[in-house]
Structure 1
């Protein structure tokens, strides 16, 4: 990896850390960047997951005022996230790499669709929130488990999935839902990262670049990310996602 390529990865990590704090689709920035500099898809996914853990922590820490009073909820749902992440990480490591390259194209496309429909999803959530259960239920627990499997296998837009689930089943305002989302995404990334460090091939220079940028981006997203126009963020994410699909198909 050249110095310019490392710099590009750091910048991508910073943008991804900020986006993850606010939206939850930062892997659609870092994953294509790693592909573009020649990292193979599975190693790029593994290294990206590990590298984003510090940024996930800073994003969750930045939302600590909104996390007050959510300890019991997050302990229960955090278990679902951890189990799901472990299952998703195992699937990534033991399925044939060619299967990942095919599946990840569909997952990136799904992530782009989720980002595009998020405004309509948020309006739907606002209508449902009046009747939502104050603590969630088994449906939410299993939904978070499924989101954890998705996140452990390929994490792009897991934040969008989590906001949709939490907003549907919890009687709480969106900023507290987003804070909970950041914690659950941190758990998914951390559990998958531990598994990958133990048994997977990791590009540690890529990890260092993503992590360095993601730490700064996580703080930035938690502090000022809400001021960035949502349509601009969605447009950037979708364009990068389409670029990733192009690289996977034609690269």
Structure 2
């Protein structure tokens, strides 16, 4: 019960990695809060968690909408009085090559994957600075390390590389108020977002690039997230944990 009595919010918590992280946090004793743009999936995940006897609250939220983010943060403060941990997991994929990428597609990927992280970090960072403690975990990607390739396009890589750099920057800014900021860079993880529209040959190529010769599953990110959200990582800030099956090594 490493997160016992902690209030932990997860954006994009209705499906994929976010759903797994929400379940994992609740199983470690947290009051889990899920924020997601998909109302139907959000209700289904809430029902599944409560059926499993886990604490869960949900908010419909577009992670690129400043007003909605501020409203969720205010709602959490009103209900719980504090926010102990926040996971920025909401994101969109970018599967179009550079020469075919429109300005609108670029703006969407950056708006959700990078600007959304900024908006959430600013909103919850103000709360955590005021209460004198907190842990923020940003979900980046191995694409942000490698520049994309089979792990994503250049635009997607730019958005996630920005998350890694931004994590380091705000970790320095918030360290003096006892707020820690870290990131996780997943590799190829089987989720609805990453598998939709992928042809068999592309999928096989991605497996050959991974030393463990398989893709990961969302539950394999729970341990890293729980570590960063818990007091066990009290001397960690500005770090990015690589959970990628060996697909990227320094």
TM-score scaled to structure 1, two decimals? Answer: 0.31
Considering fraction of residues, name the structure with more helix: 1
Considering Cα pairs closer than 8 Å and 6+ residues apart, tell me whether 1 or 2 has the greater RCO: 1
TM-score (norm 2): 0.31
More strand by share: 2
